[in-house]
Structure 1
Amino acid sequence: MNDVHHPQSEAEACDLIRQAASNGTALSLIGGNTRAGLGNRVSAGVVLCSTGLAGIVAYEPGEMVMTARSGTTLSEIEAALSANNQMLAFEPLDHRGIMGTQGEPTIGGVFLSNASGPRRLSAGAARDSLLGIRFVNGRGEAIRAGGRVMKNVTGLDLVKLLAGSHGTLGFVTEVTFRVLPRPESEATIVLCGLDDATATRAMAAAMAQPADVSGAAHIPQGLAQTLPDAVGKTGAVTALRLEGLSASVTVRAASLAARLSAFAPVATVEQAASTRLWRAIRDVTPLQALQDRPLWRVSVAPTAGHRLIATLRQHADVDALYDWQGGLVWLQIGGEPQADVLRRTIAAVGGGHATLMRASDVQRAGISAFEPQPVPIAALSARIKAKLDLAGIFSPGRMTPDAGANMRIVDRTG
């Protein structure tokens, strides 16, 4: 059984990391451990958990900036924001359903995994909200980067570098991030029964309109039947979300529905049901049931996703859910993960990258869970890793099997 440490202060974390570096002891860095199993499994005998570093340090709603210790639960953060009618702009997804895990997501884990949800289209990724961090490097030194305001950065941007690094570069102890006002109202335009290719064209048409769409997703027939409120009872669902002032949402929804009616029958889903629908899309609820099937997270050009899936279906049984206007494809494969076929097909449709989110230990053996990096980027990543974690003790399970050549440091999934 792993030796688990819960440092109660940054100084204690520094001491533990210095000792581990001196002894050459590998450390698995975790928060709520809700993404347990992500990556290629490499055993680390000692676990360093951030949950002892909890609590909101500073929050001024008028400034729309919050500072919190990394082990603070996401639920505590969201409760404080909700009390002031504010929110995390990037709509972080909850990985527990697709990963089959327990625990509570932490704010540090959210940024270290760059867990960006459907609103990424309009508000940017998690890393775009991150303003400052405190972390401990592989020498046991506490480092502060960034601050409480947006500003230009000269040189290496450590704040953005650690976002999406999955605990391979440092033990984050504190994060500072911007927040936004919660929209007064929301509604979702639903197009019914479109095939994947037509849905892609419909989403592109919607994004070209001055409607300020904050979410664009397509759930094919079969998977759509698992959506809440019987939204998908008549077949495939193409969903387009509008947010803002109530009067504005009403006008924009009517205009967008009229423009898209040529594609398919159109319905409007109002506030409460719209919120439930997008929570299901955010957390990839339609692909949670079959935990024994490999699950990939694929990033491609929005117009390429449906071609990727059509080609893959010539080789395997594939279910897919399209988010980010089709640029983010969650795909579930029956049988083996088909990593080589998937990555060749991604290259053939114009490029992108794939992350193996869920699979058995046997299936993961010999597969790079993260997209292998081009040689120049891999070399740069390895140099950065050496500067921040010279002994290579941090989160070996998040690295690819051939870490010397394909060290994955920065999550390029946006």
Structure 2
Amino acid sequence: MTPKTEDDLAQIIRGANGPLRIQGGGTRPIGRTEGETLHTTALSGISLYEPGALTIVAGAGTPVAEVEKTLAAQNQRLAFEPMDHRGLLGTSGTSTMGGLVAANVSGPRRIAVGACRDFMLGVRYVDGAGNIVKNGGRVMKNVTGYDLVKLMTGAYGTLGVLTEVSMKVLPDVETTATVLLHRLSDDDAVKAMSAALGSPFEATGLAHFPKASNRDALTMIRVEGFADSVAYRAGQLQALLAPFGEVTIDADAKTDWTAVRDVSAFADQTGDVWRFSVKPSDAPALVARMDAKAVQYDWGGGLIWALIDAGRDLRAAVGAFDGHATLVRGSADVPTFHPELPALAAITQGLRGKFDPRGILNPGIMG
């Protein structure tokens, strides 16, 4: 089913006799669900773009690439740097704005500017009863009542089917440089990244690749902005981090942050891929318990990507830890998303009961 208008979508949901599997471009099949597929790709198009107001409004089925091209023409961008999952998950198709928002997709720059959720201004969606709902607007403002915009972002379609999203955008940067630290242990890498984050030099990306059989360990710290500012801040970070060992600067933007964003190192590797969100200082000890084939740190150590042998329950393997883990790609017979604490699970079920009383929207996807 591919509704062409919001009213068509509302009628389909009102008339549904069983579960519906909500799908945009089909590039991020994370989580397990069932039912007849409901495509949102026809709900496409940019309905408003005001570069001066740093605001864009687009249908849920609008390709992300179309939005990024439109923004680039005005020297603007989606600042939260959304990940493209196609390489990692082996999918094709076209990533859509609705899917991006539904999964709260963000990249390395999240550590500096925030996630997709932090840029959302408004949404239109159809709930599980077939009601058309609008929340938020097209400008940033203080509101009272329920912030449904933030609630819908990251809900994976379980509370409603997005039809339109409105978000804030930011100007693009003049230049980028990357400070590179060589051959650090995981512990020292996290300490170095934390030192950079605690400095006034405004790092916008901090990643670490541990030593592997075919390469030395590499730690990457990105700075962005006007050329003179970037050169100064990169030099200051080089001096600040010199006690950790060899520090060089890639001033020509050759370092591939797109590969960091998309976890490209795991794309062609066999095995399951897990994503752990933890306190950075806890990350090295947690990784040591994983027995992983390969690991990538992002967000200054707060995000761990782990490639492991297929079928392993990595949550059980590492034991108790402070954070959460998601099975992004794999065959293990475990919940995709981290089990919620009882109190939070009760709130979640209560919300779903209000927004989707029949339980037909992506049932089981977050279970």
- Mark yes or no: TM-score above 0.5: yes
What aligned pairs does 1:2-21 form with structure 2 within 5 A after superposition? 5-20=1-16
Equivalent residue for 2:34?
43
Equivalent residue for 1:406?
none
Deviations 1:355-412 (A, max 9, x none): 111112xx23xx1111111111111110100111000001125131xxxxxxxxxxxx
Equivalent residue for 1:337?
312
Equivalent residue for 1:297?
275
Question: How far apart are 1:340 and its partner, in Å?
Answer: 4.1
Answer whether contact 2:138 2:167 (CA < 8 A) is retained: yes
- In the alignment, the residues of structure 2 paired with residue 114 and residue 399 of structure 1 have an alpha-carbon distance, to the nearest angstrom, of 14
Which among 281, 285, 292 is matched to residue 307 of structure 1?
285
Equivalent residue for 2:259?
280
Matched, 1:29 2:8: no
Which among 163, 172, 175 is matched to residue 165 of structure 2?
175
TM-score using structure 2 length:
0.97
Question: How far apart are 1:100 and its partner, in Å?
Answer: 1.1
Match of 1:398, SS?
A: coil
Answer whether contact 1:6 1:50 (CA < 8 A) is retained: yes
Answer whether contact 2:60 2:97 (CA < 8 A) is retained: yes
Equivalent residue for 1:90?
80
Answer whether contact 1:305 1:329 (CA < 8 A) is retained: yes
Deviations 1:178-234 (A, max 9, x none): 0000011110000011111110111111112111111111011228x6xxxxxxx5x
Question: How far apart are 1:164 and its partner, in Å?
Answer: 0.5
Distance 1:156 1:344, change over 3 A: farther
Match of 1:309, SS?
A: helix
Distance 1:11 1:244, change over 3 A: same
Match of 2:41, SS?
A: helix
Equivalent residue for 2:326?
355
Alignment-mate amino acid for residue 268 of structure 2: A
Question: How far apart are 1:174 and its partner, in Å?
Answer: 0.1
What aligned pairs does 1:2-401 form with structure 2 within 5 A after superposition? 5-20=1-16, 23=17, 25-36=18-29, 38-39=30-31, 41-44=32-35, 46-222=36-212, 235-274=216-255, 277-290=256-269, 292-313=270-291, 317-342=292-317, 344-345=319-320, 347=321, 351-360=322-331, 363-364=332-333, 367-400=334-367
Question: How far apart are 1:42 and its partner, in Å?
Answer: 3.7
Distance 1:271 1:51, change over 3 A: farther
Answer whether contact 1:296 1:330 (CA < 8 A) is retained: yes
| Structure 1 stretch displaced more, 304-313 or 83-92 | 304-313
Answer whether contact 1:42 1:397 (CA < 8 A) is retained: yes
Answer whether contact 1:343 1:353 (CA < 8 A) is retained: no
- In the alignment, the residues of structure 1 paired with residue 10 and residue 183 of structure 2 have an alpha-carbon distance, to the nearest angstrom, of 56
TM-score using structure 1 length:
0.86
- In the alignment, the residues of structure 1 paired with residue 323 and residue 90 of structure 2 have an alpha-carbon distance, to the nearest angstrom, of 26
Equivalent residue for 1:407?
none
Answer whether contact 1:309 1:318 (CA < 8 A) is retained: no
4+ residue stretches of structure 1 with deviation over 3 A? none
Distance 1:249 1:6, change over 3 A: same
Distance 1:343 1:398, change over 3 A: farther
| Structure 1 stretch displaced more, 189-198 or 334-343 | 334-343
Listed as ranges, the gaps of 5+ residues in structure 1 are: 226-232, 401-414
Task: Report how many residues are paired.
Answer: 367
- In the alignment, the residues of structure 2 paired with residue 397 and residue 358 of structure 1 have an alpha-carbon distance, to the nearest angstrom, of 17
- In the alignment, the residues of structure 2 paired with residue 285 and residue 195 of structure 1 have an alpha-carbon distance, to the nearest angstrom, of 22
Answer whether contact 2:21 2:33 (CA < 8 A) is retained: no
- In the alignment, the residues of structure 2 paired with residue 261 and residue 369 of structure 1 have an alpha-carbon distance, to the nearest angstrom, of 41
- In the alignment, the residues of structure 1 paired with residue 229 and residue 314 of structure 2 have an alpha-carbon distance, to the nearest angstrom, of 45
- In the alignment, the residues of structure 1 paired with residue 95 and residue 312 of structure 2 have an alpha-carbon distance, to the nearest angstrom, of 27
Answer whether contact 1:28 1:397 (CA < 8 A) is retained: no
Equivalent residue for 1:408?
none
Answer whether contact 2:289 2:318 (CA < 8 A) is retained: no
Distance 1:195 1:147, change over 3 A: same
- In the alignment, the residues of structure 2 paired with residue 266 and residue 7 of structure 1 have an alpha-carbon distance, to the nearest angstrom, of 54
Alignment-mate amino acid for residue 240 of structure 1: I
Answer whether contact 2:290 2:318 (CA < 8 A) is retained: no
Answer whether contact 1:94 1:283 (CA < 8 A) is retained: yes
Match of 2:271, SS?
A: coil
Question: How far apart are 1:262 and its partner, in Å?
Answer: 1.5
- In the alignment, the residues of structure 2 paired with residue 329 and residue 261 of structure 1 have an alpha-carbon distance, to the nearest angstrom, of 25
Alignment-mate amino acid for residue 274 of structure 2: W
